[in-house]
Chain A
Amino acid sequence: MKVHKHEVIVVGAGGAGLMAALYASKGGADVAVVSKLYPTRSHTGTAQGGIGAALGNLDDDSPLYHAYDTVKGGDWLADQNAAMVLAEGAIEAVIELEHMGLPFDRTPEGKISQRRFGGHTSEFGKQLVRRACHAADRTGHMILQTLYQQCIKKDVNFFDEFQVVDLLMNQGQAVGVVAIQLGTGDFHIFHGKAVIFASGGWGRCWNVTSNAHSMTGDGAAISLRRGIPMQDMEFFQFHPTGIYKMGILITEGVRGEGGVLINGKGERFMEKYAPSVKDLASRDVVSRAIYDEIKKGNGVKGKDYVYLDVRPETVNRFFAEEGKKDRIDAAYVEKKLPDILDFCRTYLGVDPVHEPMPIQPTAHYAMGGIPTNVRAEVVIDENWTVVPGLYAAGETACVSCHGANRLGTNSLVDLVVFGRISGIRAAEYVRGVDWTPLPADAGKEIEAEFKRIRTSKGKTKPYELRARMQQVMMDNVGVYRTAETLQKAADEIATLRERFLTDISIDDQGYKFNTDLMEAWELGCLLDLAEVTALSALNRTESRGAHSRDDYPKRDDENWLVHTLIYREGHARDPKYTLNTKKKVDRSLEATDPRFAPKVRVY
């Protein structure tokens, strides 16, 4: 195997990975970015509505309010120190992005324009605040492009279409990764002093999802197999407004601009569930409300969807009812939400300026993942023990600034803030340490696994198992769960895993660009993550944020202000899972400011 040597190995080239690469480079480190996609194909590019930062360009705002909203949005499971780092870092990060040329929309004074978003308020929930900095409805696209442009300017080393398939550890430290060059099928070893996972989420575990096909959680699954626990896997966000059946995301920015949810009876139902901020309650609340309406028979035409209505006449009617002076017209909607209009016109044949959009909740974002501290260092237990040389940032990480439910815009904040921190920290770290050798037989194990998949002569095609897994997760580990559904899911996923290991076959026996082989391997990652998700959810006997148990409908602060850690040991064929619920939530803000204490979550 060819061995490449770079001090910092960044896995993934989305927002977090590019930010990490930029700052590790600025810190003087020799950096390699290893990504299974061309960087500009990364999922960050699909983020629409905005990036939250308390700039106060249009309304009075403060990072403390942003931190509070984040903690409350996370149903008090967020680590409060991480929420504060996020909120304070957001301002600097957004200003820096502007200095890098990011074309934000502007206020009449030429400052960065901001809009309202779900759960973002000022003065501790008193009123909605314009905090989401935006570039039309393609803010993530602009962030991804801008960061990639800056990496080109800085001459960062990119290994595009190299898919990372294993993590190399030696003497308790991360020493590199193994990757497959997709174009040739060759295995490569990337030997580093530090590894940063910025490899994204795993929404493809579910069958209705906003996530790209490539969101298969590779980095998280690899880490899990190498003894790194996964944290808070039971918390997976369902975004309330996915295009019906397709799952394509319709940004919360639609509701930020005045759009409302309407049930089959023509009622604006969010008034019942969140009397104060209504349609702009946090996402878990809105997703549950939609499910509740559907359960009551209030879906549109008796089906399992409702409408999102941003027609100017509807929006203006509700503005008038609420005594607001704003009015919008069709041109305004076209200007503010061009991509959303395009999606609906293309995929639904629906023109949102004249018709409401049919929507249903869609699997969207992993709050859980590889546990890290606020320095983006990977930690493995309740004592915050650090794995030397290993970092994680962005969706694949769980720092945990999002707790049990992430607020809209905070994913982009997370990846720029913690991506940046991971790069800075990794550069500092590699300056002070010597090279640790690669483990003996580096890469042999994963090479054998690929040989197994390639030569397996079973009866089942990987896509059949994947489709089944996605349905099982949708039906049993969705917005609402019970012990019964979760147990059923865990059992069936274990069976599917067994079949994946013993009974698959693929068609493509080649080496160059063998996507048949790579998809099969990715299915293994998804199955591992689906299984730990179901097991973590089964273990948490309360309802909090995105984890809603019908059999335990109440939040239980006495027993559950703790993070879930799940460990995997043993052979892939017979893994043993251990759960640890001793890692307490950080409540450092609450210690000096009682307003941060957990209370009933009302919007």
Chain B
Amino acid sequence: MEVTIRIKRQNPEMPGKEKPYWQEFVLKDVEPTDRLLEMLHRIKWEQDGTLTLRRSCAHGVCGSDAMRINGVNHLACKVLMKDLGPKVTVEPILGLPVIKDLVVDMEPFFAHYRSIMPFFVNDTPLPEDGRERRQSQADREVFDDTTKCILCACCTTSCPSFWANGKYVGPAAIVQAHRFIFDTRDQAWEDRINILAEPNGVWRCRTVYNCTPACPREIQVTRAIGEVKLAIRRRKREGIVNTKDVVIAAPGG
């Protein structure tokens, strides 16, 4: 099939192209199962080498190629052409300064991530047998969903509250905080909920729900934010996440 890809471009070094503009590229012989990333590569390699984007793993795990595709945030490597139709628009993710074409400045995003203490804290003595801290599989399951986050920024840059106020930590930072707040082994959960109780923390979330469908890892982002809100309101972390019957028997033999 033939596909027209319309890309929002910008190049600070090219006279006349410093401001955003649209450019169309036509691709022939597109297979329905081709990934959009491959099409962007075809444009870059066969038509215009100046087209600039980030990418690495090409199968939805590294989080490099978040972009706004037909108006919705996705990873370009996780979207198939058959799901996009014959006319596709591609823009940089919103709310972060554009450096060039589809490449945005990720630093504000990572600064929010770093602000929520995204690291494990437990200063109690290690087990005397020199082995692992014990944790039940049920307790492990409570925060399983939020461990999947790859920091691609699809959620944060789909959030109208973040677009309106770049000081809001954004969904991704809250998801990362959730992963630690509900980990029974971690001891800094109160510090984290105090950070998120500040004006630019979770309360900037207006439950618009854009973040959840934007997540390429299918994390229930809005739900995770809601659970953090509840933990702040109740000043506790037990009994908030609805744990299903999660105990999995290890295979025998």
The yes or no verdict on A and B being binding partners is yes
Q: Report the separation of the CA atoms of residues A246 and B59 in the bound assembly, to the nearest whole angstrom.
A: 10
Give bound CA distance, A332 to B218, whole Å. Answer: 19
- Cβ contact within 8 Å between A41 and B120: no
Contact between chains at B78 and A346 (CB < 8 Å): yes
Least CB distance from A242 to B in Å reads: 11
Q: Is the interface of A mostly helix, strand, loop or mixed?
A: loop
Instruction: Specify which of A110, A257, A516 is in contact with B49 (CB 8 Å cutoff).
Output: A516
Q: Is B150 an interface residue (CB 8 A)?
A: yes
Cα distance A515–B43 in the bound complex, in angstroms: 13
CB distance from A203 to the nearest CB of B (A): 11
A56 to chain B, nearest CB (A): 10
Cα distance, A515 to B99, chains bound together (Å) = 13
Chain B proximity of A214: nearest CB distance (Å): 5
- Point out the residue from A347, A348, A516 that lies within 8 Å of B44, measured CB to CB: A516
A107 at the interface (CB under 8 A from B): yes
For residue B183, CB closer than 8 A to chain A, the reply is yes
Stretch at the interface among A142-150, A370-378, A389-397, A536-544: A142-150
- In the assembled complex, which residues on chain B have CB atoms less than 8 Å from the CB atom of A213? 55-58
Chain B residue, CB-CB nearest to A516: B49
Q: Which of A8-45 contact B (CB under 8 A)?
A: 37-38, 40-43, 45
CB distance from B65 to the nearest CB of A (A): 10
How many residues in B have their beta carbons less than 8 Å from beta carbons of A?
A: 65
> If A106-B137, A257-B251 touch, does A40 touch B150 (CB 8 Å cutoff)?
yes
In the complex, residue of chain A having the shortest beta-carbon distance to the beta carbon of B55: A213
A346 to B140, CA, bound (A): 27
Residues of A within 8 A of B186 (CB): 101
A-chain residues with CB within 8 Å of residue B33 when the two chains form the complex: 347-349
B219: min CB distance to chain A, Å: 12
Q: Which of A292-300, A323-331, A403-411, A475-483 contacts B (4 or more CB under 8 A)?
A: A323-331
Once bound together, how far apart are the Cα atoms of A510 and B17, in whole Å?
12
A46 at the interface (CB under 8 A from B): yes
A136 within 8 A of B: yes
Instruction: Find residues 185-222 in chain A having any chain B CB closer than 8 Å to their own CB.
Output: 212-214
Q: Which of A115, A141, A510 contacts B61 (CB 8 A)?
A: A141
Known: A101-B120, A136-B144, A332-B248. A110 touches B135 (CB 8 A): yes
Q: Are B135 and A347 in contact (CB under 8 A)?
A: no
Contact A113 B250 (CB under 8 A): yes
**Contacts A108-B137, A328-B251; is A41 near B62 (CB within 8 Å)?**
yes
| Contact-residue bracket for chain A | 35 or more
Query: Are B120 and A111 within 8 A (Cβ)?
Result: no
The CA-CA distance from A307 to B106 in the complex, in Å, is 41
The smallest C-beta distance from A144 to any residue of chain B, in angstroms, reads: 9
Structural contact, B103 and A513, CB atoms closer than 8 A:
yes
Q: Mark A331-363, 1 if CB is under 8 A from B, else 0.
A: 010011001001100111100000000000000
A108 to B, closest residue via Cβ: B250
Asked if B151 lies at the interface with its beta carbon under 8 angstroms from chain A, I say yes
Of the listed stretches A73-81, A92-100, A230-238, chain B binds A92-100
A111 and B134 contact, Cβ closer than 8 Å, known pairs A152-B114, A153-B119: yes
Q: Are B144 and A45 in contact (CB under 8 A)?
A: no
Given A100-B120, A103-B143, A152-B114, residue A111 in contact with residue B59 (CB < 8 A): no
**Min distance, Cβ A255 to any Cβ of chain B, angstroms:** 13
Q: How far is the CA of A325 from the CA of B33 in the complex (A)?
A: 40
- Inter-chain contacts of A246 with B (CB < 8 A): 59
Q: Are A37 and B100 within 8 A (Cβ)?
A: no
A506 within 8 A of B: yes
Residue contact A106 to B136, C-beta cutoff 8 Å: yes
Q: Is A558 an interface residue (CB 8 A)?
A: no
Residues A41 and B63 in contact, CB atoms below 8 Å apart: yes
Bound together, the chains give a CA A184 to CA B241 distance in angstroms of: 45
User: A95-B130, A100-B120 given as contacts; is B135 within 8 A of A106 (CB)?
Assistant: yes
Asked if B208 is at the interface of the complex by the 8 Å CB criterion, the answer is no
Cβ 8 A contact of A41, one of B50, B64, B122, B126: B64
Contacts of A332 in B (CB 8 A): 248
Chain B residues contacting A136 (CB-CB under 8 Å) are: 144
Could you tell me the distance between the alpha carbons of A149 and B151 in the complex, rounded to whole angstroms? Answer: 12
Known: A98-B132, A152-B114, A325-B253. A46 touches B61 (CB 8 A): yes
Proximity bits, B68-86, A CB within 8 Å = 1, else 0: 0000000000101000000
Does B89 make an interface contact (CB < 8 A)?
no
Comparing B7-15, B156-164, B192-200, the segment that makes contact with chain A is: B7-15
Interchain CB contact under 8 A, A152 and B250? no
Q: Which residues of B contact A38 (CB under 8 A)?
A: 64, 106, 110, 151
Q: Is there an interface contact between B131 and A212, defined as CB atoms closer than 8 Å?
A: no
How far in angstroms is the closest Cβ of chain A from B139?
A: 8
Question: Measured between alpha carbons, how far is A38 from B12 in the docked complex, in Å?
Answer: 22
- Could you tell me if A46 and B57 are in contact, using CB atoms closer than 8 angstroms? yes
B252 on the A face (CB < 8 A): yes
B148 CB within 8 Å of chain A: yes
- Whether A138 sits at the interface, judged by CB under 8 Å, is yes
B220 within 8 A of A: no
B99 touches A346 (CB 8 A): no
A105 CB to nearest chain B CB (Å): 7
Sample of 27 A–B contacts (CB below 8 Å) = A40-B150, A41-B56, A46-B57, A46-B62, A95-B130, A101-B122, A103-B147, A105-B140, A106-B140, A107-B250, A108-B137, A110-B135, A112-B132, A115-B251, A138-B147, A141-B61, A146-B120, A152-B114, A326-B251, A332-B248, A343-B59, A507-B48, A507-B50, A512-B100, A515-B44, A515-B52, A516-B49
* 9 smallest beta-carbon distances between A and B, as pairs: A101-B120, A507-B49, A110-B134, A463-B45, A149-B119, A516-B49, A153-B119, A98-B132, A106-B137
Residues of B within 8 A of A (CB): 11-14, 33, 35, 44-46, 48-50, 52-53, 55-64, 78, 80, 99-100, 103, 106, 110, 114, 118-120, 122, 126, 130-137, 140, 143-144, 147-148, 150-151, 179-180, 183, 185-186, 218, 247-253
